[in-house]
Amino acid sequence: ERELAPPIMVNARVAPLGSRLVLALLEDRTREWRVEAVRRDFVANVSHELKTPVGAIKILAEAVEDAAEDPEAVRRFASRMRIESDRLTELVQQVIELSRLQAVDLVDSRSEVRIDQVVAEAVDTSALDASRRSISVVVRGDTGLSVSGDPRLVSAAVTNLVSNAVAYSGENTSVVVETKGLERTVEISVVDQGIGIPSDEIERIFERFYRVDPARHRSTGGTGLGLSIVKHVAATHGGDVRVWSVPGQGSTFTLVLPRHTPQTSHLTTTQDTR
């Protein structure tokens, strides 16, 4: 007969205190395995997502070589190469942001982050895309607010929300960025009159690489990483991100971050603030 006891029997034989320890160790290991699985998934996803634009650029380059005699075709292929390389750049940037986010030491990153400046930069980043489609971007609400956090990450989060609002809006609409200071938090809301998000998709949009049916989008751009960055920034800063949306009418994303108070400023003395 078989003498090999299943591993659980080993645990059952140790003293109560010991078994609790074993359980704790097991739990710890499962968390490690889960983290490892998420990491492996992420690497697989990133590799897949990188291969798409790289493959497209290669094919387009070959097409340009073959079409050297036809300037019109060369121009067409070149412009598609530019679109694909923009996509690649955005993807690489977002992957870098995401890994920075995972490596960030929170205690060391509690700088004073000025929201007026962050919002102005975010609006600037989307200005060209907005003006091309006659979308007006309006900033209103409380001024002079600061949150405590990592300047680059807070900036990345707000930039992603504003650029999504513009990207998923139609011509001649407006996007409003509204800032509100509460006692302990600052709320940054980005309101659009765009295509909206079906209610059964809302939960999934914060997942990495998740995109609501790309066919409904004006462009094929986008990486599906933007909102996962926003969610991580909110989570790592002890904040929150909320969304309301009505398909066909628009969406509102609200990022809630801890308000910077003088008491927290001592943590920032060695940090550069902006």
* Residue ranges that bind ligand ADP, judged by CB under 6 A: 160, 164-165, 168, 192, 194-197, 205, 210-212, 222-228, 251
Helix, strand, or coil (residue 258):
strand
Q: Looking at beta carbons only, is 179 or 228 nearer to ligand ADP?
A: 228
- End-to-end, the C-alpha distance of the chain in Å comes to 71
Q: Minimum CB separation from ligand ADP for residue 248, in Å?
A: 10
Q: How near is the Cβ of 219 to ligand ADP at its closest, in Å?
A: 10
Would you state the structure tokens that stand for residue 63, as one six-digit string?
A: 């097409």
- Least distance CB 47 / ligand ADP (angstroms): 18
| Tokens standing for residue 155 | 């900036």
- Return phi, psi of residue 54, to 5°: -65, -45
Contacts of 94 (CB under 8 A, 6+ apart): 223, 225, 226, 229
Closest approach of Cβ 194 to ligand ADP, in Å?
Answer: 5
- For helices 226-236 and 151-167, the axis angle rounded to 10 degrees is 140
Residue 64 or 154 with smaller CB distance to ligand ADP = 154
Nearest residue to the partner ligand ADP, using Cβ: 226
Contact 174, 138 (CB under 8 A): yes
113 or 165: CB nearest ligand ADP? 165
Output the smallest distance, CB 173 to ligand ADP, in A: 11
> Helix or strand or coil: residue 145?
coil
**Closer residue to ligand ADP, CB minimum distance, 212 or 255:** 212
Nearer to ligand ADP, 158 or 205 (CB): 205
